[in-house]
Amino acid sequence: MVEKIGHIKNPLTVIAIFAAIAEISGTTVLPFIESDNQGIYIWFLMLFPVFLVGIFFFTLNFNHKVLYAPSDYKNEDNFLKSFGKATVEEKEEKLREEVEEAEDSSSKEENVSELSGNNTESQETSSTSYPHRDATSFISRHASLMANVSLAEKLSIMKLSKDMGLEFKTDVRFETSRNRKIIFDGLAIDKNKIHAVEVKLFRNEHVNPSRLDKVLLKSELMASQLKGIDSKELVIHFMAVVDNPEVDVSRVKERLSRYIDRYNVNVKLHVITLDDLKNEYQYRP
């Protein structure tokens, strides 16, 4: 009998087994309870299934996706669709964050270079002229960076799709049981793994740990959530795209690897230049 029970990977199966064991064990111990307490215990046996069914339908109504595993779908692409697509506002917000992170990293690197210089006079000139930079020039530079971030994401996912033979859905939103929204640049499922993609643009060798923290912390949260749903392993593909021909790609990879090893999540690090991506796909602006 026990041998016929397969691997449990569906929350509905867990609920059913728990309810059955609770009712059977509860009924079994009833004769051994003192007669004064049997009335209370009988009420518990009657009300507990009602409570359980109520909680079940409450969950079914507000967060039904957590009750199904990817293997429950005949086509697991439907499981991806159940994750949801990020809204236009969410995409714009994420893009702004990516641009601000890349801009902030560049600014920090520039400040370090200025402070390390030997010419005090040139430093003073640079520091005093910075607040008076032309606003139009700043907006133009910002728009160019935004375009490069978007292009890096698009070409990186195309490359992963080609190299891995998987079709990645873009801008996929995963919602946790506490209604926290996690957005990845791409997501795909194969036989044994769930592949999530996060693309970051780097313009210098400076690696801000907070940029990785955001990605890896939300990856850990998603991995822990998926453990209760399906046995597939979550793999995070961190695509670091270098947008500066003068930057040593190997040093960027070395610095990123140091931070990634600190987290309890399966991360595949990919480091490539934006120029290489453009050349591979013959992109001409």
Establish if 130 belongs to a structural domain.
Answer: yes
Out of 62, 92, 109, a domain closes at 62
Establish if 69 belongs to a structural domain.
Answer: no
Q: Are residue 143 and residue 209 in the same domain, yes or no?
A: yes
CATH code for the domain of 132: 3.40.1350.10
212 and 261 in contact (C-beta within 8 Å)? no
Q: Are residue 113 and residue 6 in the same domain, yes or no?
A: no
Least confident of 8-17, 21-30, 172-181, 185-194: 8-17
Query: For residues 200-238, b (16+ Cβ closer than 10 Å) or e, as one string?
Result: bbbbbbbbeeebbeebbebbebbbebbeebbebebbbbb
- Binned at pLDDT 50, 70 and 90, residue 74 comes out as low
Out of 62, 91, 108, a domain closes at 62
Q: Are residue 52 and residue 126 in the same domain, yes or no?
A: no
Largest Cα–Cα distance in the chain?
Answer: 94
Higher pLDDT, 126 or 188: 188
Establish if 70 belongs to a structural domain.
Answer: no
Establish if 217 belongs to a structural domain.
Answer: yes
Q: Which domain holds residue 134?
A: 77-280
pLDDT value of position 162: 93
- Binned at pLDDT 50, 70 and 90, residue 201 comes out as very high
Q: Are residue 48 and residue 86 in the same domain, yes or no?
A: no
Q: Are residue 33 and residue 81 in the same domain, yes or no?
A: no
Least confident of 70-74, 101-105, 280-284: 70-74
Q: Say how many domains are in the chain.
A: 2
Pairing outcome for strands 169-175 and 181-189:
antiparallel
Task: Examine the pLDDT at 192 and tell me if it is beyond 60.
Answer: yes
Q: Are residue 103 and residue 126 in the same domain, yes or no?
A: yes
Establish if 132 belongs to a structural domain.
Answer: yes
Q: Are residue 110 and residue 32 in the same domain, yes or no?
A: no
- Binned at pLDDT 50, 70 and 90, residue 11 comes out as low
Task: Examine the pLDDT at 104 and tell me if it is beyond 90.
Answer: no
